[in-house]
């Protein structure tokens, strides 16, 4: 986790997730669960997404957030958690990767 100064409740992803849920929104939580090589965000980092595609937090330096948000909207509908992997090793050109050369696994699940 992040050992930075006290979390700012307006941008802290887990606080935002709770607020959104209390407002009756559907919320998905993405978590970096594994990293290989250099990765922009440490294991444990969160990105939270609602059904409209609003998001808060980050799982990479911005490289894969778009793809995670798109997947999260699917997961909100199906309710089934999914493990996503991103890395430069992906040769399929249309897939998003990490410019830093690392690889990350992101677990995306529905809140509730």
Judged by the rule CB under 8 A, the positions of this chain that interact with another protein are 1, 3-7, 14-15, 17-18, 21, 29, 31, 33-34, 42-44, 81, 83, 107, 109-112
In angstroms, give the least distance from the CB of 54 to another protein: 17
Which of 99, 100, 66, 101 lies closest to 84 in space, CA to CA?
66
CB of 47 or CB of 93, closer to another protein:
47
Residue 80 or 95 having the CB closest to another protein? 80
Cβ count near 63 (within 10 Å): 19
Q: Could you tell me the smallest distance in angstroms from the CB atom of residue 32 to another protein?
A: 8
Closest CB to another protein among residues 38, 99: 38
For residues 55 and 49, the answer to whether their CB atoms sit within 8 Å is yes
Closest approach, Cβ 4 to another protein, in A, equals 5
Strand, coil or helix: 77 = helix
Q: Look at residues 53, 35, 54, 37 and name the one whose alpha carbon lies nearest to residue 45.
A: 35
């Amino acid at each position: 986790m992040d050992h930075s100064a006290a979390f700012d409740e307006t941008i802290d992803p887990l606080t935002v997730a709770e607020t959104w849920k209390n407002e009756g929104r559907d919320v998905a939580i993405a978590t970096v669960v594994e990293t290989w090589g250099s990765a922009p965000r440490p294991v444990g980092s969160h990105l939270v997404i609602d059904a409209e595609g609003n998001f808060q937090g980050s799982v990479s330096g911005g490289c894969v957030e778009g793809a995670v948000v798109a997947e999260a909207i699917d997961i909100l509908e199906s309710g089934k958690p999914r493990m996503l992997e991103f890395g430069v090793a992906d040769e399929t050109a249309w897939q998003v990767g990490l410019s830093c050369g690392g690889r990350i696994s992101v677990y995306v699940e529905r809140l509730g």
